[in-house]
Amino acid sequence: MTSAKQHIYRRYFPSLNRENQQLTYLDSAASTQVPEAVLNAIQNYYQHGHGNVHRASHQFARQATNAFESARKTIAEFIGSKADNIIWTSGTTQGCNMLANGLAYSLTEGDEIWVSELEHHSNLVPWQQLAARTRATLKCIPILNNGDIDIDNFKEHFSEKCKILAISHVSNSIGALLPIPELVRHAQQYGAKVIVDGAQAIAHLDVNVERLGCDYYLFSGHKVYGPTGIGVLYGKTEALEALQPSIFGGEMISQVSCETSTWNRLPYRLEAGTPNIVGAIGLAAALKFLKQFPLKERLNHERSLLNYALKKLREHPKVELIGTPMMRVGLISFVLKGIHPQDAATLFDQYNIALRCGHHCAMPLSKKLAKQGSIRLSLGLYNTQQEIDKLIEAIDNIMELFDE
């Protein structure tokens, strides 16, 4: 892909086009930068009248409600769902906790909850806590030495005892792409509910929840060029109806007396309190921004960058890749030989290169593949080959410092 073609995307992001600061931003797995269209949508909402949703008949309230529910439809269309199957959350973490709390009643002692060894803590700790509360057993699918999950182990030991499988679509630490349709089919044969953490997949794949077949799918707005504080929990209708609300009050109520209450219909019965209205509008603007580009072209751009970065890092004698999964999306973890990842990340910052270092909120995986942690390069639509070249040049300079 030509340099000019790559820069078509970058020009939409004000934070990356400031005159006095040309930052090489390679930390999109933590948070993506925000395009001007999202900033404009947020500003426009506040400038033209802010009102609470579903609760008044005046003009500002009607405008807010229409924009809020239109945003829900935009998100539904983006992932191949219906609007009533979209629940607003503050992000993937809250969504995982909502599911763990809402499914607690369905577990008894001896039941099993399955996760994998590569999960982000947000899709691990809530299930640990649920297992402890219900005396269920938490099972962990091991990973192979290359970072892929051991699917043969999963199939050998999975049984009707499992009630919940909570699994990542893409690893936030090494970029491994998991075979979700295969995992879903196998788990659902035994009657298990399947939860997919799509936080690292939503910006980099053509996500269609109908094709995936999962019961629930979650993601965060700030991983897909939207604002922070907004996220999505998708669920099949029967799966959402099976969830018990864990937060009460506000819009989730239908009828209330001093003695008892009844709940509203979906999706509102799972959305207590005043929602993040402007966050939903901002996320919808982000997805509309993405939709203006042909999907194949956008994904090919990212795949080309990922392959280029992998080639350059593999060729470098001082770089050791962490994890070599068969299928990878969006990111690469590595270490510089003889340099602690924290020291390396600090030095990269001196070269105006933003990377993440540490265990990446996935300590079980990190402890198995990289005990001291690693440096994570993660890509966004705005990145270019020139930025990968700048990274490699910085690695050369850093290694010269340590070799002296």
Mean pLDDT confidence for 120-146: 96
361 catalytic? Reply is yes
* Gap between the Cα atoms of 140 and 133, Å rounded: 18
Residues contacting 341, CB < 8 A, separation 6+: 335, 357, 358, 370, 372, 373, 374, 375
Residue 285: the pLDDT is: 98
If we measure between CA atoms, which residue out of 208, 227, 197 comes closest to residue 76? Answer: 208
Return the percentage of the chain with pLDDT > 90, whole number.
82
Q: What digits encode the pLDDT tens for the residues 322-350?
A: 999 999 999 999 999 999 999 999 999 99
Residue 55: the pLDDT is: 79
Residue 2: the pLDDT is: 45
Residue 6: the pLDDT is: 56
Residues contacting 193, CB < 8 A, separation 6+: 103, 106, 163, 164, 165, 215, 216, 239, 242
Overall fold of domain 3-34+294-403? Aspartate Aminotransferase, domain 1 (3.90.1150)
Query: Rounded to a whole number, what is the distance in angstroms from the first to the last CA of the chain?
Result: 37
| Structure tokens, 219 | 């993601």
Mean pLDDT confidence for 104-122: 95
For the cut 90, the answer to whether the pLDDT of residue 362 exceeds it is no
Could you tell me which residue, 302 or 358, shows the higher pLDDT?
302
pTM as predicted: 0.95
For the cut 60, the answer to whether the pLDDT of residue 4 exceeds it is no
Local structure of 92: helix, strand or coil: helix
- What is the length of the chain? 404
| β-pair partners for 116 | 141
If we measure between CA atoms, which residue out of 73, 71, 95, 103 comes closest to residue 85? Answer: 73
Question: For 247-261, 296-310, 381-395, which range has the lowest pLDDT when averaged over its residues?
Answer: 247-261
Local structure of 244: helix, strand or coil: coil
| Structure tokens, 287 | 């997805």
Cα-only R_g, the chain: 22
Residue 5: the pLDDT is: 56
* Gap between the Cα atoms of 341 and 348, Å rounded: 10
Query: What is the CATH class of 39-291?
Result: alpha beta
Question: Average model confidence (pLDDT) for the chain?
Answer: 94
Q: What digits encode the pLDDT tens for the residues 175-204?
A: 999 999 999 999 999 999 999 999 999 999
Looking at the chain, the domain(s) classified CATH 3.40.640.10 span 39-291
Q: How far is CA 216 from the centre of its chain?
A: 14
Looking at the chain, the domain(s) classified CATH 3.90.1150.10 span 3-34+294-403
Residue 80: the pLDDT is: 98
Local structure of 195: helix, strand or coil: strand
For the cut 70, the answer to whether the pLDDT of residue 71 exceeds it is yes
